[in-house]
Amino acid sequence: MKYSTSTTPQYQHSLVKSLLLHLAPGVLVTAAFLILRPLLDSSGFPPLFAFLLAILLVDIPFMLGVMLNEGKKLNGRLSLAGVVRYRQKVSWKTFVLVFVGAFLLVYLLLMLVAPVNTFLAEHLFSGLPGWLFLDEQTQYEAYPKGVLVAVFALQLVLTGVVLPWVEELYFRGFLLPRISRYEKWAPLLGGFFFGLYHIWQLYSFVTVFLLGTALGYIVWWKRDLRLSISLHLVANVAVRLTFLMAALAL
């Protein structure tokens, strides 16, 4: 699949349109999750399974659909040509240096703000049902090993690999260039909107906001979307692997 290497789209989104396009997939997937969870309550699977189905059936199709529809308007067919930007390729040496430096910096930032997330979860969002905190491992103790291995394996593939890829195409490759008129503030705005997109886990807003902002600035700086895709994918895979390995060790 070929992509345009141009960094400036033919048109810009209004701030309201950009906000809506950031929020829509998050609102829809959260609604789907809330609908599917009670329906699957008696299935013997944890709530995470309902969330993964919502990602598979709603979130990913919505983002791909918006981009492909835009491609159809531009090219007369379903295509990402001219839709996804920031496709310039830096040298492999630059890629490795930026990747390693950015990974260490982002990891340090996320560790520093971890107490903020804990505070928000315990004070502002303490009234939410426990099953909404999908990363809380104690909720999985009641499920058999086979179920957990299957669900965490699906999570690894879906939200560890596929979703980060699609999110980077959508948020950093499609939406970010269309607010490029804000120049150096565009990645900050995009990061804020990206945090709001994760409406199902607003207790982690600070972490997601920082991650989205960092990825946005890296892409805005080097114009190479491969950097944000790789960083996002590695970070998600590392977290999902810990869950799968813990289940396998039971």
Helix (H) or strand (E) holding 136: none
- For the chain, give every domain's residue range: 15-129+142-248
Nearest to 171 by CA among 183, 159, 161, 186: 186
pLDDT of residue 146 exceeding 70: yes
Q: Choose between 155 and 120: higher pLDDT.
A: 155
pLDDT at 155 over 80: yes
Q: What is the pLDDT of residue 10?
A: 58
- Per-residue pLDDT, averaged over 10-14, amounts to 85
Q: Report the predicted TM-score, pTM, of the whole model to 2 decimal places.
A: 0.93
Euclidean distance between CA atoms 93 and 103, whole angstroms = 15
Helix crossing, 15-39 with 47-54: angle to 10°? 140
Give the E-state strand segments of 28-176 in sequence order: none
Amino acid at 25: P
Contact 102, 231 (CB under 8 A): yes
Among candidate residues 74, 63, 53, the one with its CA nearest the CA of residue 22:
63
Asked whether the predicted pLDDT for residue 42 surpasses 50, the reply is: yes
Per-residue pLDDT tens digits for 95-128:
999 999 999 998 898 889 889 888 888 888 988 8
Task: Pick the closest to residue 5 from 144, 146, 177 (CA basis).
Answer: 177
**pLDDT bracket for residue 85 (50, 70, 90):** very high
- For 57-67, what is each residue's pLDDT tens digit? 999 999 999 99
What pLDDT, on a 0 to 100 scale, did the predictor assign at position 9?
53
Distance (Å, rounded) from C-alpha 240 to C-alpha 247? Answer: 11
Q: Which of 5-9, 93-97, 135-139 has the lowest mean pLDDT?
A: 5-9
